[in-house]
């Protein structure tokens, strides 16, 4: 018998509860596998993709006579890469299929069982199906049974998002499998990005908003200039509309605050002073927030700290490409919220002991390896070799990178704190450190004679 997959409704926010289990929402291709004398793997639209994933032939060795539901994913840089799995489905020539399978091997993450030995299980509660699945299928090289937790949905969501995953799916433990239906017994909680924006103005309201406003005009600092990044007209309550309007009053100005060709006439401009946290999906090519939603006012954040670096995609490709995250405990490289001028030095007992100096800039940690450690006395200078940008979360990392992996050895935090940037150029970087061990002015100067990546690190006199 053929099955259409059961689908999930979106949930507004992460939640928990004893009647629910939570598993990772994998970004791949939903697939139902019929394993018996033959194997067939069908997508949501009933396309047979069995021959596109030759490595999943191992299913026949791991189980017998079952119908499974799961997601086919391709991991790249520690995370599922949807484009990579989509390419696998597109490949049609045998040579292309084989090459893709070698270069982008897949994993089938199995989360449900619909039939066993010809007997349908869809009427049974999910908790029973999970138990039957576990005893009917062994993990293989390309097949894993999805892990899950019961009850603790919020913590699980936080952990999944921290790993750079798309979100979680919540499923009622007592729910049957409703093939082809979208049900509230399954809920997907997707990651929403947030950004702190300067409210640079608001549009005139109409209808029931005639006495408040229509939308907020949002800006982000790109250097010293405010860049318009769009408007947000949803997420307000009657109460927040009135509170916001009152918060705007002291900042009203006739002066246009940002270049914005798409701002409607009759809008009011505001001097920088009000900061709003806004949820959004991504940034469009013309630097506008997609699907923005007002979340709250932030009175604890200065407008000047609302930089465009918060939303610019961070490139940590080199960092991710060098590391195997199934072996190394280091954080996966992804864009996270700026911490604001963070500084750290990590003592790294690699093949050669060195100290890694890291300064937060443009959403990443700019990094240098300092073989002899940072200078502590004025006038001292040390060689500092520029290395790839590290994710902001690396600043909190301590641990042991296993033998055979990139940077193998123990990493300990040697100093941490904040810093202020002075001149930051191609040839010279000035900065003042406020650490637990080090403090005061420092300077990095290019040392090209010794190599393209080499700098000299000086401690300057106060």
Q: Which two tokens stand for residue 460?
A: 């300057």
Q: Which is nearer to Mn ion, 20 or 368 (CB)?
A: 368
Q: Which two tokens stand for residue 141?
A: 């090289």
Span from 146-154, 330-338, 349-357, 446-454 in contact with Mn ion (CB under 5 A): 349-357
Q: Which is nearer to Mn ion, 159 or 386 (CB)?
A: 386
Q: Which is nearer to Mn ion, 39 or 385 (CB)?
A: 385
Please give the residues from 431 up to 450 whose contact with Mn ion meets the rule CB under 5 A: none
Question: Least CB distance from residue 328 to Mn ion, whole Å?
Answer: 12
CA 283/CA 198 separation, integer angstroms: 16
Q: What b/e string do you get for 143-169 counting C-beta neighbours within 10 Å, with b at 16 or more?
A: bbbbebebeebbebbeebbeebbbbbb
CA 86/CA 43 separation, integer angstroms: 12
- Is 112 a binding residue for Mn ion by CB under 5 A? The answer is no
C-alpha distances (whole Å) from 426 to each of 142, 152, 178, 225 are: 46, 48, 60, 21
- Is 171 a binding residue for Mn ion by CB under 5 A? The answer is no
- Number of shown-chain residues binding Mn ion (CB under 5 A): 2
Question: Least CB distance from residue 354 to Mn ion, whole Å?
Answer: 6
HSE, side-chain direction, 13 A CA sphere, residue 253? 13
The residue number with the shortest CB distance to Mn ion is: 348
Question: Least CB distance from residue 38 to Mn ion, whole Å?
Answer: 51
Select from 14, 299, 3, 392 the least CA-distant residue to 167.
14
Provide the 8-state DSSP code for 247. Answer: H
CA 218/CA 311 separation, integer angstroms: 13
Q: Which two tokens stand for residue 296?
A: 């709250």
Binding mask 356-385 for Mn ion (x = CB under 5 A): x-----------------------------
Span from 56-64, 96-104, 354-362, 446-454 in contact with Mn ion (CB under 5 A): 354-362
Question: Least CB distance from residue 417 to Mn ion, whole Å?
Answer: 19
Span from 25-33, 56-64, 345-353, 376-384 in contact with Mn ion (CB under 5 A): 345-353
CA 371/CA 348 separation, integer angstroms: 10
Q: Which is nearer to Mn ion, 287 or 347 (CB)?
A: 347
Cβ neighbors of 267 (< 8 A, separation 6 or more) are 201, 202, 203, 204, 217
Question: Least CB distance from residue 405 to Mn ion, whole Å?
Answer: 12
Is residue 25 annotated as part of the catalytic site, yes or no?
yes
Strands 193-202 and 268-270: antiparallel
Span from 107-115, 178-186, 242-250, 341-349 in contact with Mn ion (CB under 5 A): 341-349
Question: Least CB distance from residue 20 to Mn ion, whole Å?
Answer: 42
Q: Which is nearer to Mn ion, 66 or 365 (CB)?
A: 365
- Is 69 a binding residue for Mn ion by CB under 5 A? The answer is no
Q: What b/e string do you get for 110-121 counting C-beta neighbours within 10 Å, with b at 16 or more?
A: bbbbbbbeeeeb
Span from 135-143, 150-158, 166-174, 340-348 in contact with Mn ion (CB under 5 A): 340-348
Question: Least CB distance from residue 407 to Mn ion, whole Å?
Answer: 5
Q: Which is nearer to Mn ion, 112 or 356 (CB)?
A: 356
Span from 32-40, 200-208, 343-351, 419-427 in contact with Mn ion (CB under 5 A): 343-351
Q: Which is nearer to Mn ion, 172 or 348 (CB)?
A: 348
CB 323 within 8 A of CB 69: no
CB 461 within 8 A of CB 432: no
Q: Which is nearer to Mn ion, 309 or 386 (CB)?
A: 386
Q: Which is nearer to Mn ion, 170 or 411 (CB)?
A: 411
Span from 34-42, 224-232, 236-244, 348-356 in contact with Mn ion (CB under 5 A): 348-356
Select from 41, 36, 98, 110 the least CA-distant residue to 71.
110
CB 20 within 8 A of CB 170: yes
Three-state DSSP class for residue 394:
helix
Q: Which two tokens stand for residue 278?
A: 């806004």
Q: Which of 25, 129, 323, 348 binds Mn ion (CB under 5 A)?
A: 348
CA 329/CA 225 separation, integer angstroms: 39
CA 404/CA 401 separation, integer angstroms: 9
Q: Which residues pair with 112 in a beta bridge?
A: 69
Question: Least CB distance from residue 369 to Mn ion, whole Å?
Answer: 5
User: Which of 25, 130, 171, 366 is the catalytic position?
Assistant: 25
Question: Least CB distance from residue 362 to Mn ion, whole Å?
Answer: 20
**Interface residues toward Mn ion, by CB under 5 A:** 348, 356
Catalytic residues: 25
């Amino acid at each position: 018998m053929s099955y259409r997959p059961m689908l999930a409704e979106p949930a507004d926010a992460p939640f928990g509860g004893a009647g629910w289990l939570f598993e990772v929402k994998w970004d791949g291709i939903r697939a139902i596998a019929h394993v018996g004398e033959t194997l067939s793997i069908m997508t949501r639209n009933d396309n047979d993709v069995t021959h596109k994933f030759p490595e999943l032939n191992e299913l026949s060795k791991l189980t017998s006579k079952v119908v499974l539901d799961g997601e086919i994913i391709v991991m790249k840089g520690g995370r599922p890469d949807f484009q990579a799995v989509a390419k696998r489905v597109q490949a049609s020539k045998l040579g292309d299929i084989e090459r893709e399978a070698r270069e982008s091997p897949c994993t089938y993450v199995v989360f449900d069982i619909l039939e066993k030995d010809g007997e349908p299980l869809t009427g049974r509660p999910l908790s029973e199906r999970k138990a039957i699945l576990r005893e009917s299928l062994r993990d293989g090289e390309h097949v894993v049974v999805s892990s899950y937790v019961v009850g603790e949905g919020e913590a699980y969501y936080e952990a999944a998002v921290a790993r750079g995953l798309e979100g979680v799916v919540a499923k009622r433990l007592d729910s049957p499998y409703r093939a082809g239906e979208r049900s509230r017994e399954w809920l997907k909680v997707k990651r929403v990005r947030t950004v702190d924006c300067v409210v640079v103005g608001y549009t005139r309201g109409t209808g029931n908003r005639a006495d408040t406003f229509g939308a907020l005009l949002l800006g982000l600092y790109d250097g010293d200039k405010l860049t318009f990044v769009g408007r947000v007209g949803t997420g307000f309550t009657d109460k927040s509309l009135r509170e916001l309007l009152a918060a705007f009053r002291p900042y009203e100005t006739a002066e246009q605050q940002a270049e914005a060709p798409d701002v409607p006439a009759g809008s009011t401009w505001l001097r920088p002073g009000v900061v709003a946290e806004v949820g959004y999906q991504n940034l469009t090519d013309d630097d506008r927030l997609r699907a923005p939603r007002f979340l709250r006012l932030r009175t604890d954040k200065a407008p000047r700290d609302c930089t465009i670096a918060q939303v610019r995609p961070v490139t940590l490709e080199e960092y991710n490409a060098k590391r195997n995250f199934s072996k190394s405990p280091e954080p996966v490289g992804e864009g996270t919220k700026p911490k604001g001028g963070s500084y750290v030095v990590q003592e790294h007992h690699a093949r050669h002991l060195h100290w890694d100096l890291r300064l937060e800039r443009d959403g990443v940690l700019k990094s240098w390896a300092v073989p002899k450690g940072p200078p502590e006395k004025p006038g001292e200078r040390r060689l500092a070799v520029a290395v790839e940008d590290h994710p902001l979360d690396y600043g909190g990392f301590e641990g042991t990178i296993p033998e055979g992996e990139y940077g193998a050895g123990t990493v300990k935090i040697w100093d941490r704190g904040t810093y202020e940037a002075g001149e930051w150029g191609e040839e010279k970087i000035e900065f003042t450190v406020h650490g637990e061990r080090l403090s005061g002015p420092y300077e990095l100067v290019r040392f090209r004679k010794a190599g393209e990546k080499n700098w000299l690190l000086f401690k300057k006199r106060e």
